[in-house]
Structures are given as C-alpha cells and as structure tokens.
A and B are shown apart, each in its own frame.
Chain A
Amino acid sequence: MIKTLLIANRGEIALRIVRAARELGIRSIVAHSSADAETLAVQLADDAIEIGPPQASKSYLNAEALIDAARQYQVDAIHPGYGFLSENADFADAVHRAGIIFVGPSGDIIRRMGDKAAARRTAKAAGVPVVPGSEGEVPSVEQACRLAEEIGYPIMIKASAGGGGRGIRIAGNREALMKQMPTAQTEARAAFGHGGVYLERFIPQARHIEVQILGDGEHVVHLFERECSLQRRRQKLIEESPSPALDEATRAELCESAVTLARHIGYSGAGTLEYLFDEHRREFFFIEMNTRIQVEHPVTEQITGIDLIREMLLIADGKPLSLQQSHIHRSGAAIELRLNAEDPDQDFRPSLGTIETLRWPSGPGIRIESGLYPGYRIPPFYDAMLAKLVIWDQDRPAALARARRALDELILEGVTTTASLHVRLLADPHVRDGNVHNQFLEQWLEHYQQEVSA
C-alpha cells in the first residue's frame, strides 16, 4: 500500500500529483530545489524537502539526492511527473533497487520504448504501422543512399538518442542526404553521446495525433486520442480531443493499434503513443511512445471523466486495472491552451517577473492547472509553462466559444504570456475548422510576426 509519495517534480504537475494523492489518502512530499520553496505544490503538500540548488542538473535531475530524500521520509513510491527524470530508465531502476515503487513502467520498458529505433522495431513486431524507413540504425552514407531510394524523398535523418524534436535533419534528395548524414552523426554524438542515426520518410503537413493508454502489465485500455498538431519548434501549444480529422472507423483502428502495441510489451502505467496522421492518404504511423504522464493529459480526463494520475497511483500500488474498455466513453470536446511566460510578439522571448494581478476564468467547463498566485516570482531556471487552461463543452464549436470566453475573463499581470496569441489563434478560420497540420503554427506565426512588425 502506498501511504507516502515523493513527488520528484515541480510546477503545475507537482501540484496535480499532490491533489491526486490527497484524494487517495496518500501523504505527499514534494522534493524541490531552493528556487521552488514558495511554490503552490510545496504549500499544499503534506511536507516538502529541499534537494538542491536552483539548477535542474543539481536538483530535479539529481537521482541520488531524490533517492536520499525518499529514504529520509521512508516513502513507498516516487512519482516523477513529466520531463526531468520521468523517462530515465536508470533512475527507475535505482528507485526500484532502493525498494521504492517507481510510478511508471519498469526501467526495461522505458529503455526499450525510449530508444526510437528499438521502439520502431517493437511496433513493427506487434503489427503496428510505422513510417517507412530504415530497419534500425544506418551506419554508412552509401547504405543510407541505397535505402532512401526505397523509402522515398524527402527523408529524415534522426538521432536514435534524440527527442523533443532535437537531432532531426531533412534531406530533399540524394545530394542533400550525402552532405547531411555525416553532420547528423557528428551532431548526435555531441548532443546525445551516441552517434547512431536512422532514416524515415518525411510526411509534409502531417497531423500529430496521440493515443492515451493505461496498462497494468497485463490488461491495457485506451482513452481515445488527442490531437496536438499546433506546435512551435516541436513544443505543443494547443491540444484537443477528439481530433477533428478522424472518422469513427479510423479512430477505432488507431486506438486499437495503440492497445496492441502496449499489450505486446506488457505495459504498466499511463503511456502515450504518438502517431503521424497523413490526412490525404488516411494513413497513420506510430512514431514514438512516451512512458510517462503528459502535459496535456487533462484533455483526456475532461472527455472521459477518468483521473489519469489517480489511475497511475493505483496501478503503481499493484492493483489490477479496474477500467474495462467497454466502460470508457468519451463525451463532448476538450481543448487545452498552454500559457507560457513568453512574448509572442518578440519571437517568444522568455518573460520574467512577479505575478501582480491574477483573475482566472471560471464557470462551466473550465479547469485551470497552474501553480500561479499573486506575488509569485517566476524563476528563470525552468520551463516557461505557467498554466494550462482546459476547456470542455458538448462539442467542438461550443468548446472553442467557451475557450474564447475563458480568455476574455483571464487577467494575468506582471509577466507577458502566450494568452494574446491564443486569442488570435482561436479567431483563425483554419483553427476554428480544425484544418491544421504540424507545420501550420510556424507558418501562421511568420505571417503574424510580419503583421506585428508592420
């Protein structure tokens, strides 16, 4: 039985886990850096422990300090949240060796699905479609050129150890591939300590659609999809469910493929399988799996009514999955708007400051996930995300109208955020019609920046 939980994270996700723990009667301890002693998660947790200085490398990424803290409080489990050590297989193993439950899958599964090439092989073995590409790493330029003829251009050169959009190059033809391949290998070695790269067909104007799953090591269920095509530099800005691009048959097929893959590996915990959806060919391809909770998980919670963090804790506690697929239904539409401390009019420059006035929107269908409060000073050391506005309504047009109403009600002074960008994006006819793809936002922003400077 998990009685005490160490939360190895910060910001809104630490707060989200504190809340889930409280509702389950679990005592929560927030492990925090010296810069985060005043956060709302620390204030609302049952206890808190400082694990190091502000720099993440010396605090939130310091496995030893976290395990020491866990021992000191004799916790039963550690929840890693997202980012930081959440997908670090060695950390999961170290937690396990210390006799503590890691809230997530085993180190072996994290390792297997965290390595892109290995994840791809696993998906193929499970019969899940993947983007046409090389079988594992490609050692030589000659071999790459030969393979590229079969796969087709444009082609992506991707670092096996990369992630979050880093370590990717696109070659439009043979000459470009011959030139970029050695550079990509060198870059991969420098950035990730491993120079291995693989090849994949590049699908222009693809949609990013992902499937949420829960598994207990044996049984796996899906909680439908989320569409996250609106991204800038591979960072999601708006996520929603259901995806406006899927018909029921494709949705069922997509979600079933995610369940098949997760079941194939005996997945335990909450996980997300990311796909590219080629809308023109009506084809979807598995690209990677995130073996942790994701930022945009509330979108799924709003349409299914299921608390994903609670389910994670119950699974980690060794309880069999209580949910059956036939009992999971979706209702209405949900959309998440990320408020980042960035100035959209100044090329997303980080905006630092102290929160002065704060009035959250409220009323029907509005959920705020944020650790902000008036007087809170935003530390410069971490991610720029300050809040998530999660909006639910009976259908997509109603949810968008409600999202606009939420932004109208919001007052957040002291720091510049992406709120103004959301106002403009929600007014765009393409966004309104759900007619977007994963390069849409960057192209849209180019026009937007021109208008701002004009």
Chain B
Amino acid sequence: MTETALKAPFPGVFYRSPSPDDAPFLEEGQAITAGDTIGLLEVMKQFSEIPAEVSGTVVRFVVEDEAVVEAGQTLLIVASDE
C-alpha cells in the first residue's frame, strides 16, 4: 500500500460537493479511479473540477469543505495497491 497526497493545482477555495445541496463527490473510505472528480476549486468565480491523479481508496480529507487552499497544498490522501 502506498499513500498518495492529492494536491491543489492552483490556489482557491476547495469545495467537496458540486453545490451546497448536493452530496460530496467523495467520502472517506470510498474507492476512486484516476480521473474521478475529487472536488471543485474556485478561482475568481470560476469553478474547476479537480481530477484524481491515481486510483485507490480515500484515506482521509486533509482540508475541510470550503477551505482556502494554496497551490500544492494537500487536499486528501489516497491509498493505492501498488
């Protein structure tokens, strides 16, 4: 098992769900495939979906919903098999 930190590609506000009324894209313990959306990053009122770079299982979120993040800051940790 390797743990990979998925990081914010640019600074902004991180959202775990597509809108306040929706369920989060991911929950801890959930299996994900590379390319799945892990959350949204808002920069200057534009929202970008952030894709997972690896497949595996979500170990934990490091930042909370609506957190202000810097470029390169870890968003969540994923455990992979290889």
Contact = CB atoms under 8 A, between A and B. Distances in A.
Given A350-B46, A382-B44, A383-B45, A190 B10 contact: no
Residue of A53, A54, A350 contacting most chain B CB atoms (<10 Å): A350
A255 to B, nearest CB: 33
A380 interface: yes
A138 interface: no
Interface residues of B, number: 13
B81 interface: no
Contacts of B21: 190
Contact of A380 (B19, B44, B66): B44
A381 B13 contact: yes
B12 interface: yes
Nearest to A53: B68
Contacts of A412: none
B10 A384 contact: no
Contacts, number: 38
A357 interface: no
Contacts of A53: 68
B43 to A, nearest CB: 4
A55 B68 contact: yes
Nearest to B67: A55
A384 B45 CA distance: 8
B24 interface: no
A353 B77 CA distance: 28
Contacts of A384: 44-45
B10 A352 contact: yes
Contacts of B11: 352, 380
A341 interface: yes
A350 B43 contact: yes
B68 A381 contact: yes
Nearest to A340: B44
A387 to B, nearest CB: 14
Interface string B47-82: 000000000000000000010100000000000000
B7 to A, nearest CB: 15
Contacts of B13: 54-55, 380-381
Interface string B17-56: 0010100000000000000000000111110000000000
Interface string A410-450: 00000000000000000000000000000000000000000
Nearest to A57: B66
Closest 6 CB pairs of A and B: A350-B44, A384-B44, A380-B43, A350-B43, A380-B12, A380-B11
Interface of B: 10-13, 19, 21, 42-46, 66, 68
14 contacts: A54-B13, A54-B68, A55-B13, A341-B44, A350-B44, A352-B10, A352-B11, A380-B12, A380-B13, A380-B43, A381-B42, A381-B44, A382-B45, A384-B44
